[in-house]
């Protein structure tokens, strides 16, 4: 069974440009999460989808970030326009909907560098 896959693995863009990150969760996982780790700090929650609906987007830093999950399958996270402080590693995770302690499986992350 394929794990959570993220694309691209690395992205280097200039300040002001747009970047779209993609996450393919494990098939059948209704929960999908985005997290971000900035400059070796803690990994911070960005948002949570249940199927195609945004369950919680309280961690989104500002309105330059837009996440979608059309059809409840893969998800995209767009940053427009990108700023220097957006640099970091963006992780996606997915899990089954159900019990509280359902294991979340993480992708390898997308390292975003804004220059």
Partner 1 sequence: GEDVEQSLFLSVREGDSSVINCTYTDSSSTYLYWYKQEPGAGLQLLTYIFSNMDMKQDQRLTVLLNKKDKHLSLRIADTQTGDSAIYFCAGLTGRRALTFGSGTRLQVQP
Q: Which is nearer to partner 1, 14 or 103 (CB)?
A: 103
Name the residue nearer to partner 1 (CB basis): 13 or 105: 105
Residue (of 49, 44, 60, 52) closest to 94 by Cα position: 49
Quick check: 101 binds partner 1 (CB under 8 A)? yes
Q: Which of 66, 63, 60 is nearest to 78 (CA)?
A: 66
Contact between 109 and partner 1 per CB under 8 A: yes
d(CA 71, CA 30): 11
Judged by CB, which is closer to partner 1: 76, or 102? 102
Q: Does residue 7 interact with partner 1 by CB under 8 A? A: no
Binding to partner 1 (CB under 8 A) within 38-97 occurs at: 40-45, 48, 55-56, 58-59, 91, 93
The residues binding partner 1 (CB under 8 A) are 3-4, 31, 33, 35, 37, 40-45, 48, 55-56, 58-59, 91, 93, 100-101, 103-109
């Amino acid at each position: 069974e394929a794990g959570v896959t993220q694309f691209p693995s690395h992205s280097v863009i200039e300040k002001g440009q747009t970047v779209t990150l993609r996450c393919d969760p494990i098939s059948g996982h209704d929960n999908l999460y985005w997290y971000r780790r900035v400059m070796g700090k803690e990994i911070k929650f960005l948002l949570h989808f249940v199927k195609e609906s945004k369950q919680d987007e309280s961690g989104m830093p500002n309105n330059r970030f837009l996440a979608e999950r059309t059809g409840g399958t893969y998800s995209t996270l767009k940053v427009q326009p990108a700023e220097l402080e957006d640099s970091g590693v963006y992780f996606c995770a997915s899990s089954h909907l159900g019990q509280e302690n359902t294991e979340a499986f993480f992708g390898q992350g997308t390292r975003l560098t804004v220059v």
